[in-house]
């Protein structure tokens, strides 16, 4: 049976302690909502019906009971490292037809990773 020297034990303990202090912890990307593709938004036109809008963009992320004439498409991406991205597109209808489009950049601050 071989006896391990105290300096070897100290080196192993020190190595384990330093590995536990590693700041490069894996962080997952958090993605929510509808991906708002620029090509699809460019195809949107005033006068399109709801069926055509749903075909281009998919179902809206938010349908508000109190604002039945508005569909909101929201996209949120928080990468494990880097800047948080938030996009918003609101489509307003008169009857069954698109009346206007409103794209809003995110206002406010987002936490950085």
Segment 41-84, tens digit of pLDDT: 999 999 999 999 999 999 988 878 888 899 999 988 888 888 88
Given this model, what pLDDT does residue 113 score? 45
Average pLDDT along the chain:
84
Report if residue 18 sits inside a domain.
no
Report if residue 16 sits inside a domain.
no
Number of domains in the chain: 1
- CATH number reported for the structural domain that contains residue 87 in this entry: 3.30.1450
Alpha carbon distance 68, 94 (integer Å): 10
Alpha carbon distance 4, 13 (integer Å): 13
Report if residue 96 sits inside a domain.
yes
Q: Is the pLDDT of residue 95 over 60?
A: yes
Report if residue 61 sits inside a domain.
yes
Predicted TM-score (pTM) of the model is 0.67
Domain range for 80 is 26-105
Q: What count of residues does the chain have?
A: 113
Residue bearing the bigger pLDDT, 34 or 23: 34
Report if residue 76 sits inside a domain.
yes
Alpha helices in the chain (DSSP H): 6-20, 38-43, 50-57
Report if residue 110 sits inside a domain.
no
């Amino acid at each position: 049976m071989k006896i391990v020297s105290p300096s070897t034990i100290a080196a192993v303990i020190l190595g384990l302690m330093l590995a536990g202090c590693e700041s490069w912890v894996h962080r997952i990307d958090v993605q929510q909502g509808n991906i708002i593709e620029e090509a699809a938004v460019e195809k949107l036109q005033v006068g399109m019906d709801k069926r055509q809008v749903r075909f281009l963009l998919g179902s809206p992320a938010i349908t508000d009971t109190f604002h039945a004439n508005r569909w909101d498409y929201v996209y949120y991406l928080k990468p494990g490292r880097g800047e948080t991205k938030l996009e918003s597109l609101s489509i307003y209808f008169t009857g069954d037809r698109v009346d206007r489009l409103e794209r809003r950049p995110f206002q406010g601050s987002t936490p950085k990773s």
